[in-house]
Structure 1
Amino acid sequence: MRVDIWSDISCPWCFIGKARFKTALAAFPHKGDVKVVHRSFELDPQLNDVRPTTGAAHARKYGLTPAQARAAEENLADIARREGLEYLVDFRDHGNTFDLHRLLHLAADHGLQDELLSLVYEGNFATERSVYDSDYQVELAVRAGLDEAEVRTVLADKQAYAHQVRQDEAEAARLGATGVPFFVIDGKFGVSGAQPAEVFSEALQRAWADREPTLTVLGGTSPAGCDVNGACDVQPV
């Protein structure tokens, strides 16, 4: 069974949603048969520079007072910590995530996508460093297990894995996903947002049950035929 997860590195709810889904998956009896694929989604694709997300800017974006914006960030931090995540309340850099998504596709080719995504989330929300700094991106990718020279080559070539990122975004648009995180389980069940782990557990169970349909036998319980012992039903002439 396959689970596709659309997310963006700059999204705190994606960070939290990943942890909640991980909790649900860990308790799922068939977790060994589940393949998780992280898909690209840019929340601010037009952004060309890196900006510190100040409290004032955050307040303007959401129509809040600075005090309300700070309280909202504190609330997010509390929610993240309840999921076992480190979360710094001070506002972080905000920038274009396209290169990070390209690196995540590189990591997928090496079976290291989940490891890199976890490190990038932690770097963005739990440290004072900027994940938009290319040297830090290389450092995180190497920590995930990727080869440094290959990482630098991909970062230098803006076309490397660009098509894969655009394909993910086109698929999200086709599915009607306008925000993240967005989960698609076995191509049949969609879950929008960082839902509680219980919701993900239910979705996993329903998707698993749906892939094993109950057989309906037609024509009665004793049809003419032969059994595994070679005994055949005798029909009157």
Structure 2
Amino acid sequence: MSKRAVLEVIALDVEDAVAAQAGGADRLELVTDMAADGLTPPVAVLTGIRAAVDLSLRVMVRLADGFAAGAANDVDRLVRTAGELRAAGADEFVLGFLDAHGCVDLTAVERVVAELDGCPWTFHRALDHAADRDAVRKQLDGLPGLDTYLTAGSADGVDAGLPTLLAEAARHTEPGYEQQLLVGGGLRLGHVPRLRAAGLNAFHIGGAARPHGWTGPVSERSVRQWRRTLDAAQPE
């Protein structure tokens, strides 16, 4: 039997979380402000969702649009935010910072990760905007808690990034490539069979779970359709 694929759904509030769990999601990514591609949610949202569902929750650590951590005082705020989330019970996270040259901002990442105290975390789609994906992976390899990369393979989405995703999946035993690939960013149901056949087993959806767009809630029916599609597409 093949391993069940992980389905992660973006949740903005308790209503989203309940619908995602009912539809068969395995994990939620908690964010606010999708106009800025997802920022850190208020602690009250975290605690409300934690009380409403029993899924794994990965909480975004990001305070401004873009992938820059900002100046030293901005990094201080990120560290404080991570500490507040930890104190409120968060135990899984999402983050990722680049410098002006598209290289990983290792100082900022390391400072935030130190505050997470070994909790598991995802390096998000900053990877897709990096100047050198391989360099990012090798620089981050070995950081405590890093177990996942959220990526479309390209800044332009899965359609453009599919060859990169397949190539990186084939390198999963190499240093820097052992973390789970969580495919997200322009992901469609039609992509699933090929990705599953290549052994990819983690998928991330946001707008695809919302038939009425970001102004509407997560649809239990949409999530269930993704769950069934993932379960039906078995890897070779």
TM-score (norm 1): 0.31
- The one of the two structures with greater contact order (alpha-carbon pairs below 8 A, sep at least 6) is 1
Structure with greater Cα Rg? 1
Q: Name whichever structure is richer in strand by fraction.
A: 2
Q: Name whichever structure is richer in helix by fraction.
A: 1
